[in-house]
Structure 1
Amino acid sequence: MLARRAYIPDDLLPSGLPDSRPWPLTVPCVAQMAEEGMLFERPITFLVGENGSGKSTLVEAFAEAWGLDARGGRAGRKYVNDRPKTVLGDLLRWETTAAGARQKSGPRTKRRGYFLRAETAFGFMEAISGMRGYWEEDTSEMSHGEGFLTVLANMFREPGFYLMDEPEAALSFTSCLRLVNLLYDLGESGAQVICATHSPVLAATPGADIIEVGDHGFRRTKWEDLALVDHWRRYMNNPAAYLRYVTEQ
């Protein structure tokens, strides 16, 4: 483990009641983290929740607090120096292990980690294609899914701190299984991964911790108890039970 807890120090919290604080501190999962912090207990953690629940906001801030570029990229590199941090990324702090402290604040060339976010990954891959220290393959000649897998295979392979925001966006079912294998191996190697996802396939990674976020804030849960899993199971068993509400005029 590299990071044990994400939190906002009391002296950095804006004054006033929680519901009067600036966005995103009013988002339930962020408000809860501001009050009590978020613990990380296993090498792989999935944040699961509906669109708008705040999971991507958390992952972006986690990346910024670790020193990664909020738009994505590898540890030890800043791609645009004049971009200010987000409100949450500026407030957030990490409680690390000794190994995590060395990773986070050691020499730039020794830092290991990567932030992959689906919404910026394609443009980012195109911008750095061919640069030393990344990958040799030409991702412009690949499908989106193949490009994602190329980045993952080359950038997510050493013990380090890795963050992912909906990596399943470009991946087929089979490719998601390949990513499960990669994540599992990373966890076994001493790396730490925090991933926001809508994928029940990824969330089933053996040994992973699952934190469900929503209007309730956030809570740890089991894979089989996720609302996401329940909905997919019901839909696959009887699509018509859902689709009749979508297609009725």
Structure 2
Amino acid sequence: MLEKGMFQYIRSVELKKIDESISNEYPFSLKAVKELPRLDFHPNVTFLLGENGSGKSTLLEAIAINYGFNPEGGSKNFNFTTNDTHSKLSNYLRLAKGMVLAKDGYFLRAESFYNLATNIDDIGVTGHYGGASLHQQSHGESFMALLLNRFHGNGLYILDEPEAALSPTRQMALVARIHELVKNDSQFIIATHSPIVISYPHATIYNVEDGYATISYEETEHHQVMKSFMNNTKGMLDNLLSD
């Protein structure tokens, strides 16, 4: 396992001073932005949890853009644009970087993965992703092809809802792949809803909706809800489907 901080490519993020004239505009009106402290990242994996609309993906996107990644995903070498909808939050973040430069890196976001796959075909670099077009594979297969073939280690990987296309079995494969890359001096920052993905033990979990409180895996709503459902499926369904 990595020695703490030795291969940490991003150590922390904080919000610069915001002018009052824009403080009530999106995305600065989001609680996740208003309450953003100096957020320290784990040298291995940092998870951002929150309900839909909480702002975790907006923050993750801004971190990725500030670091130099393309807003719609890819490595720093990608510069395609299909729909310029990213917020200006990246201009108001201050990243504290580590002593070591990442040799690899990638920003993977589920919602624009189709656009990324199209650009990969257009520029003719499918060889870096296993050889086959990502469009010629299922959604889950293409995600795994990227993770297994394009992520080389010694890198910073920012993932937004990577579980979106993955079955439970593939989500467990993702956890194993994360661990392989962590052992190869990689750092991850991940926004997710998956109780499987957040089970990875060498990590810090932040609850975006609770002022970025750090919580244990067992304390997460994701784990508690899924455990309750699996332990009492009939009872919970009877309650959910009652007239």
Q: What TM bracket, shorter-length normalisation? A: 0.7 to 0.9
2:5 maps to none
1:127 corresponds, among 113, 119, 126, to 119
Match of 2:35, as an amino acid?
Answer: Q
TM-score (norm 2): 0.87
Q: Helix, strand or coil for the counterpart of 1:128?
A: helix
1:50 maps to 51
Counterpart contact for 2:13–2:93, Cα < 8 Å: yes
Q: Helix, strand or coil for the counterpart of 1:203?
A: helix
Q: Helix, strand or coil for the counterpart of 2:64?
A: helix
Structure 1: give runs of 5+ residues left out of the alignment: 104-110
Counterpart contact for 2:80–2:119, Cα < 8 Å: no
Task: Say if 2:140 is the partner of 1:148.
Answer: no
Measure how far apart 1:163 and its partner are. 0.5
Counterpart contact for 1:67–1:76, Cα < 8 Å: no
Q: Helix, strand or coil for the counterpart of 1:45?
A: strand
1:108 maps to none
Measure how far apart 1:237 and its partner are. 1.0
Measure how far apart 1:83 and its partner are. 4.6
Pair 1:134–1:90, CA change in 2 (3 A): farther
Moved more, 220-229 or 205-214: 205-214
1:217 maps to 211
Measure how far apart 1:48 and its partner are. 1.5
Moved more, 172-181 or 237-246: 237-246
Match of 1:53, as an amino acid?
Answer: S
2:201 corresponds, among 206, 225, 229, to 206
Q: Helix, strand or coil for the counterpart of 2:52?
A: coil
Deviations 1:135-171 (A, max 9, x none): 2222222211111100111222221111101111111
Quote the Cα distance in structure 2 between the aligned partners of 1:21 and 1:176. Answer: 38
Q: Helix, strand or coil for the counterpart of 2:212?
A: strand
Measure how far apart 1:86 and its partner are. 1.8
Pair 1:27–1:240, CA change in 2 (3 A): farther
Quote the Cα distance in structure 1 between the aligned partners of 2:168 and 2:48. Answer: 19
Measure how far apart 1:84 and its partner are. 7.8
1:162 maps to 157
Measure how far apart 1:218 and its partner are. 1.4
The 5 Å alignment of 1:1-249 reads 1-10=8-17, 13-15=18-20, 20-33=23-36, 36-80=37-81, 83=84, 86-99=87-100, 102-103=101-102, 112-129=104-121, 131-132=124-125, 134-135=128-129, 136-214=131-209, 216-249=210-243
Counterpart contact for 1:44–1:192, Cα < 8 Å: yes
Match of 2:188, as an amino acid?
Answer: V
Q: Which one has the bigger helix percentage?
A: 1
Measure how far apart 1:82 and its partner are. 10
Deviations 1:193-238 (A, max 9, x none): 1011111111011312111121x22111110111111111001111
Counterpart contact for 1:31–1:217, Cα < 8 Å: no
Quote the Cα distance in structure 2 between the aligned partners of 1:127 and 1:42. Answer: 31
Task: Indicate the RMSD between aligned Cα atoms, in angstroms.
Answer: 2.2
Counterpart contact for 2:12–2:41, Cα < 8 Å: yes
Quote the Cα distance in structure 1 between the aligned partners of 2:136 and 2:82. Answer: 30
